[in-house]
Amino acid sequence: MVFRESPFVESLLRIAVGIVIGFIMAIAASTFLLIADFLSTVDRFIDPFFVDGWSKWKIAIPSVLLTAAAVLIFFVRRIFGIRRFHGPGDTIAAVQSNKRLDIRTGLGSTLVAMISVGGGASVGQYGPLVHFGGTVGAVISYIFKSKIPSSTWIGCGVAGAIAAGFGTPLAAIVFSHEVVLRRFSIPAIAPISLSAITASMVADKILAGKRTHFDQVIDGTMVELLPFVVLSAPVFAITAVLFMKFLAAAVDKLEPLSATSIWPSVTAALFCGLLGILVPGALGLGIDVIADLLHDNVAITAVVVLVLAKIIFTTVSIGAGLHGGIFLPAMFIGAGVGCLLGKAATAFGVVAGTSLSLAGMAAVSAAVFGAPISTVLIVLEFTRSYEATIFSIVAVTICTLISHQVYAPSFFERKKTGSGS
């Protein structure tokens, strides 16, 4: 379908397609999140079937679900011909290099991510949604052959995915420009904004009460804590760099093996499932645990174990082919490290509250994803707190500056390209 439009028709096309992509992403993202949520809570449905002496076998559920997911993923990879999973890094590369996105691999990677999340793997769900949004935008650009660059439609898809998944349209608009387009384009602002707003409004109706929001995590101004946020930022940067290095090493060494053999994924599933019996909070998305960390409801020993287990589980899962996102794991790890620093500050007589947990969550995820401004806006829309936003700005800017200099602008821009999770 080829359009040779006048400037007026082009403007109408930008508006119309932006709204259409937003609507599509609202339906697609909501469906993804609802299915993943249903699958990840399947043990609630299994539990009633365990009675009396057989109830002891419930401890095998994590291993069984993860192993089943690993086997299913292997066959999906064969069907879609996936040798390397695609993710946000591929979306960004496609826009920056003007290369076509691999639609088949993109759709297959999204399906695999849904299976991984549903099986309880220690991965996130938003990275795959971002790439899926870019893939939808690419499909639209192939259908509407116009003077409008494909990067605009890809940006609309990404913005729609984030707005629908997070419920943060403002952050979605900025993320699309900051991370994907790498510039603020006046002609692209209208369709991207309309896509994000449409996706958020439609998804609000579908996902009512199911989105993550962290309200009332900071009480008062607590300006006296800003110096502690500044001092904590280098620790967050070190955390982000270590997480990215471990993850990159696992992806670069293990993912090629998982593309040709089922055993790396099955082994990783059994490993995480068995250890997950001891640390169940480190499996799955971990949103409830993040909320507990932000409200300082976890004992110090448990926080240490959870953070270490999350790093190990996420690294092993993604490296071995249990594909998924890394944004939520980064939030989890950052909130945990911040919680530990907050407890240390309290031990020295400084009532840190939850400010360092929030700062850590924002800083580590911003460094890993390479989206400092967008992450701050996500915090603002998540918490509805001006104070929380100020803490995040301080932590994010210092952390991303250090991690950029020491490692890379983000996990997706490291020197050796692996998974686009």
Catalogue all structural domains in the chain, each as residue range(s) with its CATH number. Answer: 7-206 (1.10.3080.10), 223-413 (1.10.3080.10)
Task: Please identify which residue in the block is written with the tokens 């088949």.
Answer: 104
The torsion angles phi and psi of 155, rounded to 5 degrees, stand at -60, -40
Task: Enumerate residues 6+ apart whose C-beta is below 8 A from 330.
Answer: 124, 240, 243, 364, 365, 367, 368, 369
56-60, 221-225, 255-259, 374-378: which has the minimum mean pLDDT? 56-60
- What's the sign of the alpha-carbon dihedral 180, 208, 310, 421? negative
Give CA angle at 267 (261, 273), nearest 5°. 140
Q: Has residue 63 got a pLDDT over 90?
A: no
Q: How far apart are CA 418 and CA 59, in angstroms?
A: 34
Which residue pairs from 4-10 have beta carbons closer than 8 angstroms and sit at least 24 positions apart in sequence? 5/146, 5/147, 10/146, 10/147, 10/148
State the chain's mean pLDDT as an integer: 85
Name the pLDDT band for 208 (thresholds 50, 70, 90). Answer: low
Structure tokens at 77: 């990879």
Name the pLDDT band for 221 (thresholds 50, 70, 90). Answer: very low
**Region 81-100 average pLDDT:** 87
Share of the chain above pLDDT 70, in %: 86
Query: pLDDT tens across 372-415, in order?
Result: 999 999 988 888 778 788 888 999 999 999 999 999 889 988 76
pLDDT of amino acid 26? 93
pLDDT of amino acid 215? 58
Cα torsion 277, 282, 286, 291 to 10°: value is: 110
Name the pLDDT band for 51 (thresholds 50, 70, 90). Answer: very low
Q: Has residue 3 got a pLDDT over 70?
A: no
pLDDT of amino acid 45? 45
Q: How far apart are CA 210 and CA 121, in angstroms?
A: 20
**Region 210-222 average pLDDT:** 56
Q: Has residue 176 got a pLDDT over 70?
A: yes
pLDDT of amino acid 171? 92
- What's the sign of the alpha-carbon dihedral 30, 328, 188, 167? positive
- What's the sign of the alpha-carbon dihedral 366, 325, 40, 32? positive
pLDDT of amino acid 352? 63
Name the pLDDT band for 5 (thresholds 50, 70, 90). Answer: low
